[in-house]
Structure 1
Amino acid sequence: MEEEYLGVDIGGTTINLGVIQNNLIKKEDTILINKDASKEETLQSLYQLIHENLTTRVVGIGVGVPAVVDPVKGIVYDVQNIKGWKEVNLKLLLELEFNLPVFINNDANCFALGEFMYGKNKSSNSFIGLSLGTGLGMGIVINNTLYNGVLCGAGEIGMLSYKDGIVEHYTGSFFFTDYYNETAKSLAEKAEKGDEKALNVFNEYGKHLGEAIKSILYMYAPDKIILGGSISKAFPFFKESMFNILTGYAYQKQIENLIIDVSKTKGSALLGAASLCLQNK
């Protein structure tokens, strides 16, 4: 019997689940998160999603959460965008519910780990996975090892002060809704049709993302940065302005061979979450 693992990616607006077998996603499922739901209601929704995809072949569950995480105890703290999830012993709750080993990490770390392990990034010694979604998440792989920091808090680039707020206000979905009253998706659809206003918005977005990437370069000097998340699909519309900002980076020799590209790996975050189980076997 081929073993299966469940990889779960809890995002700002959805919970995504993948059934993983032989390092491939054989099935995916998604539910929406009700931002006004209570802690218990959201937990029950998560339980139901897992139950609906559970088989006797499943031997472990890995979960990525947009929060700081104690990866040993499996406790998540201050989960972004989920009401009431200030301190949740998620590992214990899921293990009691499903009687399976459960492993928890930060969602951006799971994306970076999945992209590094299953994408074309094995030659990279200093790898960054950057998730462009509701916020801006970052995972760091150094010398083939995911770097967690204390409570999986390393790489919270989105929380750095920037302009009149923080970085992710200008590099996540907030930028489009708060400043232009439209979603990134709707603006991307307009940009596809050559809409000048939409193209200008993405041009501005690329500048902000470029500034964030400059900070990453100064801190970590990676040789590869892979972009994921829903906004990364609009990469052609902000690529040029992003790279233009990097011409102002102080150490040009350092980034002569730097690769910045969009993920081409299907379900990196789900694969990364499931791989937590394999790493802890």
Structure 2
Amino acid sequence: PIYAQCGTGRAGFAFTLEHWNLYDASPAWRAVTTGSKEEKIAKMQDPELRQSLVEEAEEADRRLQVIQAGVGGNPKSLVVQGVNRQSDLQKYVGKSVGDIAEAEGKHHIEVMLDLSLQGDLNVEFLGPDKGSNADFMAEMMNTSPYAIPGVSDGGAHTKFFTGGAYTTDFLTWLVRDEAVVTLEEAHYRLSNLPAHAAGFRDRGTLSEGAAADVLVYDMEELDILPNWIGDVEYDLPGGEWRRVQRAAGYQQIIVNGQITFENGECTGSTPGKLLRHGRA
């Protein structure tokens, strides 16, 4: 069978134009957002390139529209989240690009470019969460035998969002707060079904003979910290940074019978092993 990975996580993309590359289906955006920081600034000031971006925004093909929808929708809906501590830009924080454009008589693409240039490409935009329809998510989880909750990109977009929070979000949002998915169904969808889809028969359930992989948590204490965007940590090779979210409420994580995390603290134990499809 074909299994569907369902986007049950609530997370918006946060980005600056210094690092953004998810509009690459647009030749104009791809041109503007490649190169060194200095080259990007020069391109964003170029009248011809700016006009190309405006024209593409008005005549976006289907592929670009789909990509934009996946990362927050039309750029008009982006919200200014951070302005690099510049007092003259503080008035824009919390406002959408579309609202700013209307108030200032500009095209919304010009607003994105101008704000970014004024903030030395460090003005941060936040895309709206597109997955907060609890009833729709519940229908997928409760009716389809092939729907697996998610989605994480495995760390492919570390500067834009933290996809790994979807498990905690699923439990706190759809199970605890909205009560539209039962706890038993959630455990099945998050554990047994993914193992089955990957061809593993000796894990994913708490049963005799199965691998001793156990998660112990307090449902009332479960939380994602910080809740939406994530902290920034400079812990990647070369001093690069990524967005990080942590979870609260998990008392023990046990892998192959050994405790790897206890009350949120890593024990240093690494008992996990690489699994190949259908072979545990």
TM-score of the two chains, using structure 1 as the length reference: 0.31
Greater gyration radius = 2
Which has a greater percent of strand? 1
TM-score of the two chains, using structure 2 as the length reference: 0.31
